[in-house]
Structure 1
């Protein structure tokens, strides 16, 4: 890691407050990117609260959320983000073949219409930095305006996470290996 992990004894009052708030929240622990964000406690506080909402409280539900997170993690080749969310995607019922295809940068076979819609929307926005009118209209029809806004917010948050993990080289836990082909 490019930044030294702060011990609780080294943290300022503001840093400790952010770390404690994160650990006491729905995650029950300090998320990996917060290890860097603690160097800016205000950013850390705001980002971790947004992350808690994006991960647990959108109307998308765990399956669609985790699908969007995995696509984002793979686009950014964010090893830690993939590692953390692959398990969550499996728990949410995402088929291992879908996960494997995304890891290999292949288009997965998606029989569920909402899965396909989320895949198409996330892929288009991440790849092209825009979404066609037709795709956006389909997304609103199936997810509603709130769902589309929350999907874009989730993508933005997990792009921030991926960038943080990559920029500060927050790698996989000891003993873990990447699922991405070399």
Structure 2
């Protein structure tokens, strides 16, 4: 590792993270990208206005959309820890619509899905998001979806998959959709 790469790793570990994020393996080849990416990631993961369970829900929807196996593997654990129930996680993994007990979670799920399918939000969905999450929450939700899409693409393109011995959650789907 170069001194610049080592410095970025040290900066990353000095923040809220206990380990280096997986996409850093690719980003470190471009140190300034690594510095900025991990900084945005620290905000998206630890600094938004959304409660952890809503952030993790948005991340799982993103991981499923991109079929990012490492992202799914890492954030499934985080989602469970944040209180998202296994039945909701299983539904997302199989591309089913979960049954949510609260309006905010249902809203986040619907908004992130609509964003990926439509590449925007309808006026009605936007207003629902503002009503449920507030303006800060809506901005942060879009930031989370955008950042974790960047992460998912990095993990997929540079084949940073699940650790050895861990089942690949989207292996069959990726085969049918032309992935590795």
Q: Please say whether Structure 1 and Structure 2 have the same fold, judged by a TM-score greater than 0.5.
A: yes
**Cα deviation, residue 101, structure 1:** 0.4
Question: 2:158 — aligned with what?
Answer: 168
1:90 paired with 2:80, answer yes
Q: Equivalent residue for 1:7?
A: none
Q: 1:106 to 1:181 in 2, by over 3 A?
A: farther
| Structure 2 unpaired stretches of 5+ | 173-180
How does the TM-score come out when normalised to structure 2? 0.93
SS where residue 42 of structure 2 aligns? helix
Please give the root-mean-square deviation of Cα atoms over the aligned residues, in Å: 0.9
CA contact (8 A) 1:60 1:147 kept: yes
Partner of 1:134: 124
Q: Which protein is richer in helix relative to its size?
A: 2
Equivalent-residue separation in structure 1 for 2:53 and 2:170 (angstroms)? 21
TM-score when normalising by structure 1: 0.92
Distance 1:15 1:111 in 2: 45
Query: How big is the shift at 1:181?
Result: 6.5
Match of 1:38 in 2: 28
* Number of the residue aligned with 2:176: none
Higher mean displacement: 17-26 or 149-158 = 17-26
> What count of residue pairs does the alignment treat as equivalent?
172
Q: Does 1:123 align with 2:113?
A: yes
